Each structure stands twice: as structure tokens, then as C-alpha cells.
Amino acid sequence: MKKSPWHCAALTAGLLLGAHSTHAQKPAQAPPTAAALKKDIARLYNGTEGESEDLDNLIATTPRRLVAYLKTHELTAAGATALGLAYTEAKGADHLKVFTYSYASGGTRGTVDQPVLQWQNAAGQRFAYACHEECDFGNIYKLASPGRTLYLLLGQEKGDTRCMTSQAYVVELKGDYLLLVPAFGTSPLLRLCNVEMNFDAAAQVLHLDLSDNEMPEYNDDDLAKVGFRRQASTKQLALKFSGGRFVKSR
């Protein structure tokens, strides 16, 4: 089932997800082989959620198996493709990468995308985290924040037959740890329906195009939940990244 876009709202930058966390994603057994992982990802891609108990178990266990694999392996774009994973990379010493696998929801959502993030510390040790937001994050941008390493992930995911969601997600890398940053009000995530999102990296501005939207009332509610309000006639909204969060640009 699709998780609420606001289930992370209570998270703060103090939430640590990394090698020394007691998070449930800590692998309890040896990492899978590349061959085994490739087989599982192919089975997921060709299957449909709910078609069998075995497949549903595979959907549940694959995130932590991929996390275990990425903690011990460096994957290039070609290597990710060979495993059946989509690949997005940020340039920088932390080598933040997003690996995404997909499966069919069996309903109006169509394809479900599950991203797993990988990064490394100054010593070159790798870490990974299965993001709880289902989304194909196709773009990663460095955010300007002195003394911190913050990234904006942008992507899309089908919500249902009427809604293609655009998602903006902010994370911080701090050595061994990945922090979820409440850059949108109290949430690290901004998710809107049928709204185009574009980020101007030079100006550090996230542009929201609300002109092609059949359900403005839902987006207005979602924007209000993270502290943004707009006039009904406003079709464009600019959010400036400043002081570790996005604020409405004047």
C-alpha cells in the first residue's frame, strides 16, 4: 500500500540512519550475491503485488537485502543496469547514489518504485538506506548549506489514474549517517499531485508549476501542511532554499 506522504512529518534532523543505528535495516545475514539479487529483482519486475505469498515476502525482504549488498559493493551505472536497477548519482566526495527497482502494484497505481540510497564516509566506507518513500528519484542536487552536506532528490511516482506525484526529498550526509532534514516545514518531503517541479541549482530555488492541475484543493492542503499558502489565482510557486529549509520566495 502507498504510504502517506506525511508519515515522515514528525522526523527531525536528529534522526540518524547509518552503520551505527539499531534500525531494522541492519543486515542479519551475509549479503546476497549479485546473481541472487539480479534474479530477485527480475522476479519482482515481472510480478504483481498480491499475486502470491512468496512474491509479497520478496517485496518485503528485498530492501534490506539490497541494503546489505550495497554496504559491501561499489556499483557503476553499468553494474546497476546489469542487476536491473535504475541509477542516479550525485557528484561529490560522498558519492551519494540512488538505486531503484520496480514491481507492479496490481492496482491503479501501476508501477511501484523502491529507492535505496548509498553513500560513503571520508574513509571510503560504504553505507546504504532503503528510503521509505516510493519514488523514482531521477535527479539529485547539492544544496548550499555551509558546513553541511545536504542534497535535494527530485522524482515522480504514479499515485493513481488521476495523479502523477512529484516528490522533493531532502537528506543530509554526515560521515557514517544519513539524516532526514525537515526542509519543508517539519517534513523532509514535499509531495504534490500533477505539479511539475524544477530546481534551479544556481539560484537554489525550487519552482512549482501548478497550472496543469485537476485537483488544486488537494495540493493546497498539502502545501498548507508544510507551511506554504498561495492565492487561488497563483499558478507558479518559487521556494528558495535558505537556512537549511525551503521558504516561499518573494
Residue 106 included in any domain: yes
113: nearest Cα among 169, 184, 181: 169
Question: Rounded to 5 degrees, what are φ and ψ at 179?
Answer: -110, 140
Q: Are 230 and 245 in contact (CB under 8 A)?
A: no
The identity of residue 183, as a single letter, is A
Residue 239 included in any domain: no
Residue 242 included in any domain: no
Residue 228 included in any domain: no
- What's the burial of 169, exposed, middle or buried (CB within 10 Å: 0-12/13-18/19+)? buried
Q: Are 189 and 5 in contact (CB under 8 A)?
A: yes
Residue 157 included in any domain: yes
7-11, 88-92, 195-199, 232-236: least confident range: 7-11
Structural domain for 69, as ranges: 16-191
Compute the distance between CA of residue 63 and CA of residue 58 in angstroms, rounded to an integer: 9
The identity of residue 112, as a single letter, is V
Per-residue pLDDT, averaged over 193-210, amounts to 94
Compute the distance between CA of residue 39 and CA of residue 61 in angstroms, rounded to an integer: 14
SS3 assignment, position 231? coil
Q: Say yes or no to pLDDT of 84 above 60.
A: yes
pLDDT of residue 230: 66
Assessment of whether the complete model's pTM goes beyond 0.95: no
Q: Are 179 and 16 in contact (CB under 8 A)?
A: yes
Q: Are 198 and 237 in contact (CB under 8 A)?
A: no
pLDDT tens for each residue of 135-163: 999 999 999 999 999 999 999 999 877 88
The single-letter DSSP state of residue 48 is B
CA–CA distances in Å: residue 11 to residues 15, 136, 171, 183? 7, 22, 12, 11
pLDDT of residue 65: 96
pLDDT band at 68 (very low <50, low <70, confident <90, very high): very high
Q: How far is CA 138 from its chain centroid?
A: 9
pLDDT band at 250 (very low <50, low <70, confident <90, very high): low
Q: Are 142 and 92 in contact (CB under 8 A)?
A: yes
Q: Say yes or no to pLDDT of 60 above 90.
A: yes
Compute the distance between CA of residue 157 and CA of residue 163 in angstroms, rounded to an integer: 9
pLDDT of residue 189: 95
Q: Say yes or no to pLDDT of 8 above 70.
A: no
Which residues are registered as beta bridge partners of 169?
A: 153, 189
Residue 248 included in any domain: no
Residue 135 included in any domain: yes
Domain count, the chain: 1
pLDDT of residue 233: 63
Residue 125 vs residue 2, higher pLDDT: 125
Cell matching residue 98: 540512488
Q: Say yes or no to pLDDT of 37 above 90.
A: yes
Q: Which helix (H) or strand (E) holds 37?
A: helix 34-46
Question: What percentage of residues in the chain have a pLDDT greater than 70?
Answer: 82
Q: Say yes or no to pLDDT of 114 above 90.
A: yes
pLDDT of residue 218: 66
Residue 208 included in any domain: no
Q: Are 189 and 167 in contact (CB under 8 A)?
A: yes
Per-residue pLDDT, averaged over 11-28, amounts to 41
